[in-house]
Amino acid sequence: MRFVRIVLVAVSALVGAVVVSVSDAPTADAQFFSSIDISTPGPLGPITIFGDSVLLGSGLTSPTLPDQLAVRGWGPIKFRTGVGFNTGKPSRGAEMAKATFWFDSWTNQGWRAENVVINLGANDSAFCSSMECMRGQILTLVDRIGPGHHIWWPQITLETFRRSEQDMWNTALAQIAAERDDFETWNWPDEMSAGGYRSSDNIHLTGSGYRQRSDRMAHIITARLAEGRRGGVAATLPIPTLAPSEFVAVTQQRLVDTRVEPAPTGRRRTGDVLRVELGDIVPEGTAAVVLYLAAVDTRASGWLAAAPCGEETGTSSLNFAAGEIRGGPTVSQLGPDGDVCITVHGDADIVVDLQGAFHSSHTDGLRFDPLAEPQRLRDTRETGRSTTLQLSAPAGADAVAINLATVNASTSGYLVAAPCDEVPFVASLNYRPGVVIAASGIVEVGDDGTFCVTASSSVDVVVDLTGSFSPTGGLEFVPVVPTRTLDTRFGTGGWTIIHGARQTIDVPVAPVNARAVTGTIVAVQPLAETFLTGAPCGTAPPTASVNAAEGAIVANSFTGGITDGKLCIFALAGAHTVFDTTGWWVE
């Protein structure tokens, strides 16, 4: 990796020159300008960073912001920052202090990085007394950078006596961000306050503060600007060994709880395989089952993988962290002896609940009709909380495919989705305070055309509908051995390096004749709080399939429509995304 650094120790022509506070990096005291070029290409592509003295410490204090971005996969990188640097409107000071000068020069040289970071405002805001003036300064530079770019622009902090000026500039940034899809702003004042950054003037930082800020900026820039790229190859789909099946509603019940009798008792640890025998619990000839798995009293992070006994699979059905109760649904084909084996990686007690079955010739079989676009049935943040929600199914539906989510929980608890005249001793979702948790399910509908979602404690609940089941529905289910069809970490599925913020990727997850897919969707270590939404390509539903906090690994089962064998997945923030196909739906 080649670094080119230029430091000018005298820039008397620059307007408003001040010295950056770097008390624990004394060699930087006399430096007024930093230029860093990193020529090595990175998988995330090129990026431009331009700023005033507020950013200067990020170029003088090691590891620099360009260093931090290069480590995360960016490159080539152009970084220019200096005392007195400004947007260029109004025209003032030395030409080399104007952002417009640099961007014009780079354009003439053929440098046009799609992603641009601008850290200006402390100098520009002093020349304005109105919002219109400040918007004009910002938009002049945005227009000079030109279309086809994505701009990320932190808000500013100023001395206390300039607070109204600071607030006006930051409001202008926020307005422009709300108006444009190619512009984002970062609430640096809140970050500075919450992060405990040291500053003598409420503008510039100490050397340790700049190290902290560079690391945080690189993280957020990557979370917001990085995009996945086509690479790798589509996964080879498994060959079905069973005939297409229909959904059969069965009595929901607890099959296994390793904490109590009569289930096989005792905690399970890495390498253990828990055999779940269905016997006469499901109709004879059942091909696959819908299960809800839960890891309880977890002692270490890990995952569970449900599959037909005797089959090896490199997939997961549920991911969990230490010290939590984490549950999630899955669909698994049965083994030759009519059982399912759950492989454990971690240390936890295991709970398994039965939600439904799939059978090729059952008299009560139901076929699936996926929605072209998932539909939100209820959001108690808007309608008000209730311990029991009674919801109407589509006309003629005997069962529904739904996605549940809990928000704003103050205590741990669980949801049960079932016909309204029964509340079985099972769970459809386990929730806890501080996080948004999602879980899908296939739920039988009562004779009155409704179903109920019951909460064990007060919590906000979101219910999304992805499809319905009826005797006259259009699609049958083809169960397969779980197969990983997308993993952006390794290029599986044709996408690589990352799943970018606000990016929708299309992934082959089933044969082209399939109209819907069932599988497990996983958000892996997102760089910010996020959600993933799976849907047929060409739609943008206001729903979510799985929610994950920053750095977490969270899985949820998904059943929904696809387009020509492809599932489109949207990500709110940068993350890795995994999808494991467990079956698909055909006419």
How much is the pLDDT for 221?
A: 97
Reading the block at residue 198, the tokens are 């040291």
Position 30 scores a pLDDT of 40
Measure the CA–CA gap between 165 and 572, rounded to whole angstroms.
32
- Does residue 104 belong to any structural domain of this protein? yes
Instruction: With CA atoms as reference, report the closest residue to 350 among 426, 267, 466, 280.
Output: 267
Co-location of 265 and 222 in the same domain: no
My answer on whether 141 and 283 are in the same domain is no
| 206 and 286, same domain (yes or no) | no
Whether 429 and 319 share a structural domain: yes
What is the predicted pLDDT for the residue at 91? 67
Q: Specify whether 190 is located in the same domain as 252.
A: no
Distances from the Cα of 210 to the Cα of 62, 122, 214, angstroms: 9, 17, 6
Indicate whether 320 and 376 sit together in one domain. yes
Task: State the Cα–Cα distance between residues 375 and 533, nearest whole angstrom.
Answer: 12
Query: DSSP for 204-229?
Result: S--HHHHHHHHHHHHHHHHHHH---E
Q: What is the mean pLDDT of residues 143-153?
A: 95
> Do the domain assignments include residue 240?
no
For the chain, how many structural domains are there in total? 2
Can you spell out the DSSP letters for 71-133? HTTEEEEEEEEETT-B-S-S--S-GGGBHHHHHHHHHHHT---SEEEEE--TTGGGG-SSHHH
- Dist CA 490 CA 262 (whole Å): 42
Q: What is the pLDDT of residues 210-261, one digit of tens each?
A: 999 999 999 999 999 999 999 888 999 999 989 999 999 999 999 999 998 7
CATH code where residue 63 lies: 3.40.50.1110
Same domain? 192 vs 328? no
| Bridge partners for 38 per DSSP | 3, 77
Instruction: Look at residue 21 and tell me whether its pLDDT is greater than 70.
Output: no
Asked if the model's pLDDT at residue 419 lies above 50, the reply is: yes
Residue 467 covered by a domain: yes
Q: Among residues of the chain, what percentage have pLDDT more than 70?
A: 94
The pLDDT of residue 540? 76
Encode pLDDT of 336-354 as tens digits: 999 999 999 999 999 999 9
pLDDT at 4 over 70: no
Q: Does residue 351 sit within a domain?
A: yes
Report the C-alpha gap between 81 and 372 in whole angstroms: 49
Number of H helices, E strands in the chain: 8, 33
- The answer to whether residues 208 and 84 belong to one domain is yes
Contacts of 162 (CB under 8 A, 6+ apart): 125, 126
282 and 314 fall within a common domain? yes
Q: Identify the pLDDT of residue 18.
A: 34
**What range defines the domain where residue 456 resides?**
246-586
pLDDT at 2 over 90: no
Is the pLDDT confidence value at 10 over 50? no
Q: How confident is the model at residue 373 (pLDDT cuts 50, 70, 90)?
A: confident
324 and 175 share one domain: no
Q: What is the DSSP letter of 64?
A: P
Q: Is 235 inside a domain boundary?
A: no
* pLDDT tens digits, one per residue of 460-474: 999 999 999 999 999
pLDDT band at 570 (very low <50, low <70, confident <90, very high): very high
Give strand ranges (E) for 337-431: 339-359, 367-379, 388-392, 399-407, 413-418, 429-431
Write out the two tokens for 125.
């805001």
Q: What is the pLDDT of residue 72?
A: 95
Is residue 204 domain-resident?
Answer: yes
Residues 356 and 275 in one domain: yes
Give the pLDDT score at 542. Answer: 81
Q: For 43-47, 239-243, 389-393, 519-523, which range has the lowest pLDDT when averaged over its residues? A: 239-243
Q: What is the pLDDT of residues 68-118, one digit of tens each?
A: 999 999 999 999 999 999 999 876 678 889 999 999 999 999 999 999 999
Q: Give domain status of residue 237, yes or no.
A: no
Higher-pLDDT residue of 3, 414: 414
User: Does residue 5 have a pLDDT over 60?
Assistant: no
Mean pLDDT to the nearest integer, 494-520: 95
Q: In this structure, is residue 197 part of a structural domain?
A: yes
Q: Tell me which DSSP letter residue 364 carries.
A: T
Kindly report whether the peptide bond that precedes residue 526 is cis, defined as omega within 30 degrees of 0. Answer: no
Kindly provide the b/e burial profile for residues 530-558, where b requires at least 16 CB atoms within 10 angstroms of the residue's own CB: bbbbbbbbebebebbbbbbeeebbbbbbb
Question: Is the pLDDT reported for residue 196 higher than 70?
Answer: yes
CA–CA separation, 528 and 36 (whole Å)? 28
**What's the mean per-residue pLDDT of the chain?**
91
Distance separating alpha carbons of residues 342 and 357, to the nearest angstrom: 17
pLDDT on residue 20? 37
pLDDT above 60 for 9: no
Neighbours of 210 (CB within 10 A): 31
Confidence label for 31 from pLDDT (cuts 50, 70 and 90): confident
Q: What is the pTM of this model?
A: 0.84
Closest C-alpha among 452, 456, 464, 459 to residue 406: 459
Q: Among candidates 341, 226, 241, which has minimal Cα distance to 289?
A: 341
Q: What is the pLDDT of residues 61-77, one digit of tens each?
A: 999 999 999 999 999 99
Residue 13 has pLDDT above 70, yes or no: no
For 12-26, 29-43, 217-231, 397-411, which range has the lowest pLDDT when averaged over its residues?
Answer: 12-26
428 and 571 belong to one structural domain: yes
pLDDT classification of 3: cutoffs 50, 70, 90: very low
Name the nearest CA neighbour of 394 among 463, 461, 467: 467
24 or 527, higher pLDDT: 527
Confidence of residue 323 (pLDDT cuts 50, 70, 90): very high
Instruction: Confirm if 198 and 208 have CB atoms less than 8 A apart.
Output: yes
